[in-house]
Amino acid sequence: MATAQEKATPDNLSNNPTASNSSAVPSSWTHPAADPFRNRPPVSALMSAVDSFPDPPPKTTSTTKGIPVMMRAQTCHPLDPLSAAEISVAVATVRAAGATPEVRDSMRFVEVVLVEPDKQVVALADAYFFPPFQPSLLPRTKGGPVIPSKLPPRKARLVVYNKRSNETSIWIVELREVHAATRGGHHRGKVISSKVVPNVQPPMDAVEYAECEAVVKDFPPFREAMKRRGIDDMDLVMVDAWCVGYHSETDAPSRRLAKPLIFCRTESDCPMENGYARPVEGIHILVDMQNMEILEFEDRKLIPLPPADPLRNYTSGETRGGVDRSDVKPLQIIQPEGPSFRVNGHFIQWQKWNFRIGFTPREGLVIYSVAYIDGSRGRRPVAHRLSFVEMVVPYGDPNDPHYRKNAFDAGEDGLGKNAHSLKKGCDCLGYVKYFDAHFTNFTGGVETIENCVCLHEEDHGILWKHQDWRTGLAEVRRSRRLTVSFICTVANYEYGFFWHFYQDGKIEAEVKLTGILSLGALQPGETRKYGTTIAPGLYAPVHQHFFVARLDMAVDCKPGEAFNQVVEVDVKVEQPGENNVHNNAFYAEEKLLKSELEAMRDCNPLSARHWIVRNTRTVNRTGQLTGYKLVPGSNCSPLAGSEAKFLRRAAFLKHNLWVTPYVPEEMQPGGEFPNQNPRVGEGLATWVQQNRSLEEADIVLWYVFGMTHIPRLEDWPVMPVERIGFLLMPHGFFNCSPAVDVPPSASDLDDKDNGISAKQIQNGVIAKL
């Protein structure tokens, strides 16, 4: 992800003076009176590994009371996404390490991503190397501070597929002099490690999808099968190369396989023709994606193509069967004084929140180092890392080919790699700051998605209001939220991922589902009990969408501290008797989740069940432990038998909540390579069998949530947005509501229609309507 290109539009934060990557230490800090390191704790214990690097220290340094202070800007924060230059260096380093020219030519680069450093290294960077400089992040110890002169080199992790040998390998590359890549392509990377991972298939790539479509459309038996359905023009045919998943030993990862779904457009001269309106069924194809060969082909059943539906298209001005609305007047979102947030590289400050933005090819948007500035208590950490790490879409139709449709859109494809550019004034409104994202393509080149992540403020109605009926005086606070988002397209579906930060300390995670339904064809007069008929010869199968949020919490914990625990809260009805003589009593009961197996939990809306992450060492003014609670939204469970094949790979769907102690390698709940994965319970369901203690730990929450989609006629030809998500809310974290600190906005309070000014309203003058 890049921030160097600041687009100069009213929808972009291009003129914000804080939107620079520069993070040099102010020269005044070298003066003893302004020394922020004075009386700070030593960090030599944390940084023994840092100083072991053989590179010489920077030439430009100064010393204050024996403390080396960096006078040169640190150009990349340890959590910044890899730049285009860094990706190029990593790829060139790995390619150069190939043993033979054949090996080097066969390398296909599936993923290049930052190796995230230890939390202590991040703390050091935030404490002394990058503004706003937060030395309080480091623990206090005896003795004076010893500050290393530089941070350790950044590292990249590469997933490489060898097209000749059908092997997958993982490489770790240390990035040393990345800037040299801009002076002729020379690299100064160093291979730290490499290993072959046996019996796996890495995610599919867009290049493979395009090659698969071309191979299928050039296959003579396929062309003949399409002619039997009245299609001669192969330009009308769409081939979606779906992963085979794992249903039997024939799907084993010894071969790289795809079973494409076929669709056919109606018009060749309409670039926005909805090809998903005409699924081609009855054709079985198995493609060897390694060698791009058709392994199996069978025209099993001649099912007529659905007739061209006059309501199938969705392009503005071209919708059939109706007219575009003409009574919608312009709606403008303006901020004449600019936004309230500040951006420095990937560091965001808004109201009392601050955090960092990251991006990976698999997860897409990542939120790091979330903290709240709480008056005299200063910076209070809430979470170290928040992201969506997996999603699964199982279909409920047992007929071929739909029973195979159980996509792992993160693990098999990559949410970040399927992100797209956001449009000004449409995807995001108001004063917008965009971030670009950089990825490697299959052959090792670097591609950039411009305007990939959107950062903007939104009005969110009333935060709170109260009117005293005796005096007629009212108090009201307007709510505003900061939203960070990206949108990706996986075949026919669009998914929008949003993180909302609120003024009262809440964080909302939201997924918006839209796009186009994945459909099936029907014989004349046929209906299916496993779907909805939405047009003649066309039906939409029932299916579910599941998402997994990984929440690396740090409630009131500095990096490296492990002082969190999780309690489950249920509302219970008091038993009739002496304590409940009126039969109206109920109460909240807490249960400490002491171990991983005990912490495999499910939602229960009947008891208002939620979970609280608490700090075991910090209390509020009433003596209660401070915490943040996870409040479920609408949710569901897999509607499948216990022996369903997709649950072999997605055992994590069996519970809504899992809790583990932090382990850096435990990142993907279904394992890193779910594609064609035959193993039962790999990933999260296996890790928790260790039954590690959670009574006081560095806590990671894994929240699984989803929705069941029974398609409607109104979901055709486009599926209006469906929203699901959850909340992280302060629970005993603050001594009183942060909402009292949010002043009413004069512009929001102005009531010109009644001749009442904002100042009068603030002074308690209320209009009698």
- From 262, 350, 358, 748, select the one nearest 552 (Cα to Cα): 358
* Distance separating alpha carbons of residues 358 and 360, to the nearest angstrom: 7
* Distance separating alpha carbons of residues 277 and 226, to the nearest angstrom: 16
Relative to beta strand 610-619, strand 564-573 is antiparallel
Looking from the CA of 525 toward its CB, the CA atoms found within 13 Å total 0
CA-to-CA separations, 249 to 245, 254, 408, in angstroms, rounded: 11, 10, 19
Which conformational region is residue 461 in: left (phi greater than 0), alpha (psi within -120 to 50 degrees), or beta? left
**Residue at 413: amino acid letter:** D
Which position among 276, 368, 395, 493 bears the catalytic label?
493
Residue 186 in 3-state DSSP?
Answer: coil
Contact at 8 Å (CB) between 304 and 229?
A: yes
* Distance separating alpha carbons of residues 649 and 675, to the nearest angstrom: 9
Looking from the CA of 520 toward its CB, the CA atoms found within 13 Å total 27
Tokens at residue 650, please? 């997605």
* Distance separating alpha carbons of residues 494 and 415, to the nearest angstrom: 10
- From 148, 114, 151, select the one nearest 23 (Cα to Cα): 151
Residues 6+ apart with CB under 8 A from 51: 44, 148
Which position among 126, 205, 251, 409 bears the catalytic label?
409
CA terminus-to-terminus distance, the chain = 53
Tokens at residue 298, please? 């069978």
Please name the residue that has the structure tokens 């670097």: 446
Check if 530 is active-site. Answer: no
CA angle 74–79–83, rounded 5-degree value: 75
Element (H, E) at 646: helix 646-649
* Distance separating alpha carbons of residues 153 and 147, to the nearest angstrom: 16
Is the sign of the CA dihedral 526, 531, 533, 535 positive or negative? negative
Contact at 8 Å (CB) between 396 and 544?
A: yes
- From 290, 328, 39, select the one nearest 167 (Cα to Cα): 290
232 CA to centre of own chain: 42
Residue 473 in 3-state DSSP?
Answer: coil
- From 670, 702, 703, 707, select the one nearest 545 (Cα to Cα): 707
Check if 434 is active-site. Answer: no
Relative to beta strand 379-394, strand 406-408 is antiparallel
Instruction: Write out the catalytic residue numbers.
Output: 409, 493
